[in-house]
């Protein structure tokens, strides 16, 4: 996406700090969840750009229960992504804590999604 590259202004200490702050503001869990998900240049647009760029067959949202900021927008996000022709699967798990959903359950739900959507 235009303007999404990183640059560090080394001309002054303030410039360096501002550059680092801007870089951190672009980290996925920081940049993507602040403000409306469908605002220009935010989560929805970025997802659609990446899906097109990688010629994606589907989109999988992998959410952890610990990230409460995103759960309010997951359904509208999924609806909008699917309007653009990308089947979307919502995973409710945590890569570091399998108490949320076992690997077996995750595998079964993914298999079901791929079969129902005709991706396998």
pLDDT at position 101 is 85
Predicted model pTM? 0.71
Residue 14 lies in a domain: no
Residue 108 lies in a domain: yes
17's tokens: 């700090």
Write out the residue range of the structural domain in which residue 66 sits.
Answer: 55-116
Residue 91 lies in a domain: yes
pLDDT at position 1 is 45
Residue 16 lies in a domain: no
Average of pLDDT values for 35-62?
Answer: 88
Residue 105 lies in a domain: yes
Residue 41 lies in a domain: no
Check if the beta carbon of residue 60 is closer than 8 Å to that of residue 92. no
């Amino acid at each position: 996406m235009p303007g999404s590259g990183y640059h560090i202004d080394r001309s002054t200490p303030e410039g360096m700090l501002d550059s680092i702050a801007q870089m951190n503001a672009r980290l996925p869990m920081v940049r993507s969840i602040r403000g409306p998900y469908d605002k220009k240049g935010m989560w929805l647009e970025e997802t659609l750009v990446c899906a097109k760029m990688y010629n994606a067959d589907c989109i999988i949202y992998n959410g952890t229960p610990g990230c409460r900021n995103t759960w309010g927008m997951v359904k509208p996000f999924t609806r909008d992504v699917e309007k653009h022709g990308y089947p979307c699967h919502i995973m409710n798990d945590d890569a570091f804590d399998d108490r949320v959903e076992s690997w077996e359950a995750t595998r079964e739900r993914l298999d079901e999604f791929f079969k129902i959507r005709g991706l396998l």
